Amino acid sequence: MRIAPKYTQMLAVAVLGGATAFTVVVLLFIIVFVLSKGLPGVSSEFLFSAPKDSGLSGGIFPMLVATFVLPLMAIIIALPLGVGTAVYLTEYTRETRLTRVLRFGTDCLAGIPSIIFGLFGFIFFVVMLKMGWCLLSGCLTLAIMVLPTIIRTAEEAIRSVPNSYREVSYSLGATRWETVLKVVLPNALPGIVTGVMLGIGRSIGETAAVIFTAGSILPRSIPVSVFEPVRTLSVHFYILAREGISNEKAYAAAAVLIITVLLVNLAAYGMMHRFIARRSR
Amino acid sequence: MTAKLPGKLIVRDFHVFHERTEALRGINLDIQANRILGIIGPAGSGKTTFLRALNRLNDLVPEMHVEGQVLLDGQDIYHPSFDVVSLRKRVGMLFALPVALPMSIFENVVYGPRLSGVRDRVRLNEIVERSLKAAFMWDEVKDRLQMSGLRLSGGQQQRLCLARVLAMEEVEVILLDEPCSGLDPISTAKIEEALTVLKSLYTIILVTNNTKQAARVADNTAFFLTGEMVEYGNTEQIFTVPRDARTNDYVTGRFG
């Protein structure tokens, strides 16, 4: 028996709406749970002082700084490499077996568990290059880790730029490079920013890749050189919870981490919207 | 007689291949300066392919290759030593769908000049005013040059595209690929008016699906059919006493 379209329509609305509601509720529950447990422990003293007694008391300032600096440096390294690769693959090469293999490779890399990147970073940067556990080892490892995401999102963004824009640019006597610079990249920017945001989000919350490369030593102050070991908030949280040092401090650190990610996202989207608004005024 | 004028563009035994299929089969054509050449013919006859071959925009399609010669002022534009960037600055193009780049009207117009290295603000302002006037749209937009080109109507965008081509100081030939196909009659009339004025300065080639448009504005007309040029001559002759029966059928609307 065939169900009347009117009822399948109602069923579809109910199922889709239910899926959305479920997702939102789970997300909200996690956020509210962590914030309600963590926020009472967050104070300006907690935010801006160094930890004491392995984190049992004191604050998280050095970790907070590391949490910003590490992903930022990773993105500064990964962005030009990733966007450059994406531009080369889309604008400078024809679709061949080689580009398909490269794309498949980046897709595979994007799916590799971060602990593998951590292990690689440990063996290559920390041990082989004798860099030791430090900020630089950490951000190089994170850069490699987020590179596939940036390449693929930038590639999709570049592909979505209408071909007619390129034709117009070429027909006005632009070279390939001028076309990339003046037409392709500005119009792919929103998509590239999305990729960067995914990359930042992934590296801010990253624990496994960081603990092996940037270290987990409890810092006394903020890092002053890239060759100093650092501990990020997520690593700090992991150790506090894992070693059972202080649940209260762990939740406070988690709350700060969630708010940090939120603020970074808001800032990036704000910047992007301002850029788009300026171009379509 | 027009035939005695020197050819601005001379096309000799010109073939275009798209993979294995032959899109153009041996075109021979002398295109005269300061005239409007109309190219008519049904869909798939190779009109657009021909047009895009004249500024080597087909180069962007890797499956395409050409044989034969296209001479611009006597120089073979497909010769390896011919600089394709300078060719495209001399041979400008308007597309069937008007494409304003997502930037201000001002920046759209100076796109070409900026690429040629014009930086001086006063000179850029002059270029914008001159080009927009020539495209019959200065009065409409002179107070909102910083507005995005995307916010213009289709007809205005097409005239903006025309202004953008005219802004290039090197431009000598203007190619138009069905520039009015998506436009209303008033916008069409404005483009046609602009073309008839501009032909004193430029060589204009107009591909059109609208035979009446060719009859209205073209000095000479070529009729393309399945990759061949069936007939070429004075527009009046093509539309009144065509030599070929197929041309006659097409211009009288019996097919196509």
Predicted pLDDT of residue A279: 65
Q: In this complex, do B168 and A172 lie within 8 Å of one another by their Cβ atoms? A: yes
Predicted pLDDT of residue B3: 46
Interface check B117 vs A, CB under 8 A: no
CA distance B166 to chain A (A): 10
Residue in chain B nearest A164 by alpha carbon: B99
Average pLDDT, chain A: 89
Query: How wide is the angle at C-alpha A226 spanned by C-alphas A240 and A117, nearest 5°?
Result: 65
Q: In this complex, do A167 and B89 lie within 8 Å of one another by their Cβ atoms? A: no
CA pair distance B206, B37, nearest whole angstrom: 6
CA pair distance A82, A61, nearest whole angstrom: 31
CA pair distance A163, A165, nearest whole angstrom: 5
Residues B110-119, mean pLDDT to the nearest whole number:
93
Residue in chain A nearest B144 by alpha carbon: A281
Model confidence pLDDT, tens digit, residues B72-87? 998 999 999 999 999 9
Report whether pLDDT(A203) > 90: no
Radius of gyration, alpha carbons of chain A? 23
CA pair distance A13, B241, nearest whole angstrom: 66
The closest alpha carbon to A192, from A243, A252, A151, belongs to A151
pLDDT band for position A281 (50/70/90)? Answer: low
CA distance B245 to chain A (A): 36
List the domains of chain B with CATH numbers. Answer: 2-251 (3.40.50.300)
Predicted pLDDT of residue A139: 93
For residue A35, the number of C-alpha atoms closer than 13 Å in the C-beta half-sphere is 10
The interface pTM score, or ipTM, of the predicted complex is 0.90
- B113: which chain A residues are within 8 Å (Cβ-Cβ)? none
Which of A224-228, B96-100, B236-240 comes out lowest in average pLDDT?
A224-228
CA distance B55 to chain A (A): 7
Radius of gyration, alpha carbons of chain B? 18
- A94: which chain B residues are within 8 Å (Cβ-Cβ)? 62
Report whether pLDDT(B2) > 70: no
Residue in chain B nearest A92 by alpha carbon: B60
- B102: which chain A residues are within 8 Å (Cβ-Cβ)? 165, 186-187, 279-280
* Maximum distance among all Cα pairs of chain B, rounded to whole angstroms: 56
pLDDT band for position A280 (50/70/90)? Answer: low
Answer yes or no: are the C-beta atoms of A192 and A237 closer than 8 Å.
no
For residue A106, the number of C-alpha atoms closer than 13 Å in the C-beta half-sphere is 19
Q: In this complex, do B102 and A279 lie within 8 Å of one another by their Cβ atoms? A: yes
**Which of B:171-230 have CB within 8 Å of A?**
none
Query: A143-177: string of b/e by CB count within 10 Å (b at 16+)?
Result: bbbbbbbbbbbbbbbbeebeeebbbbbbbbbbebe
Q: In this complex, do A167 and B97 lie within 8 Å of one another by their Cβ atoms? A: no
Model confidence pLDDT, tens digit, residues B17-44? 988 889 999 999 999 999 999 999 998 8
Q: In this complex, do A171 and B101 lie within 8 Å of one another by their Cβ atoms? A: no
Interface check B60 vs A, CB under 8 A: yes
The closest alpha carbon to B35, from B132, B131, B161, B174, belongs to B174
CA pair distance A40, A42, nearest whole angstrom: 6
Q: In this complex, do A178 and B168 lie within 8 Å of one another by their Cβ atoms? A: no
Which of A164, A172, A175 faces B111 most closely, judged by CB atoms? A172
Which of A172, A178, A280 faces B148 most closely, judged by CB atoms? A280
CA distance A246 to chain B (A): 54
Q: In this complex, do A166 and B60 lie within 8 Å of one another by their Cβ atoms? A: yes
Q: In this complex, do B97 and A164 lie within 8 Å of one another by their Cβ atoms? A: yes
- What does the block give as tokens for A234? 């997520």
Residues B158-185, mean pLDDT to the nearest whole number:
92
Which of A175, A183, A281 faces B101 most closely, judged by CB atoms? A183
Residue in chain B nearest A175 by alpha carbon: B85
Predicted pLDDT of residue B1: 41
CA distance A28 to chain B (A): 38
The secondary structure of A94-123 as a DSSP string is -S-HHHHHHHHHHHHHHHS-HHHHHHHHII
Which of A123-127, B61-65, B170-174 comes out lowest in average pLDDT?
B61-65
CB atoms within 10 A of CB A234: 21
Answer yes or no: are the C-beta atoms of B2 and B49 closer than 8 Å.
no
Predicted pLDDT of residue B238: 92
Residue of B99, B170, B176 best to disrupt the A interface, most CBs of A under 10 A: B99
- What does the block give as tokens for A198? 């995914």
Model confidence pLDDT, tens digit, residues B207-249? 998 889 999 999 999 999 999 999 999 999 999 999 999 999 9
* Superfamily of segment(s) A44-279: MetI-like (1.10.3720.10)
Q: Which residues of A touch B (CB under 8 A)?
A: 94, 162, 164-175, 178, 182-183, 186-187, 279-281
Average pLDDT, chain B: 91
Model confidence pLDDT, tens digit, residues A168-200? 999 999 999 999 999 999 999 888 988 888 888
Q: In this complex, do B116 and A175 lie within 8 Å of one another by their Cβ atoms? A: no
Report whether pLDDT(A84) > 50: yes
- What does the block give as tokens for B129? 């005013």
Residues B150-172, mean pLDDT to the nearest whole number:
93
- What does the block give as tokens for B226? 């399945």
Q: Chain A to chain B, count of Cβ pairs less than 8 Å apart? A: 66
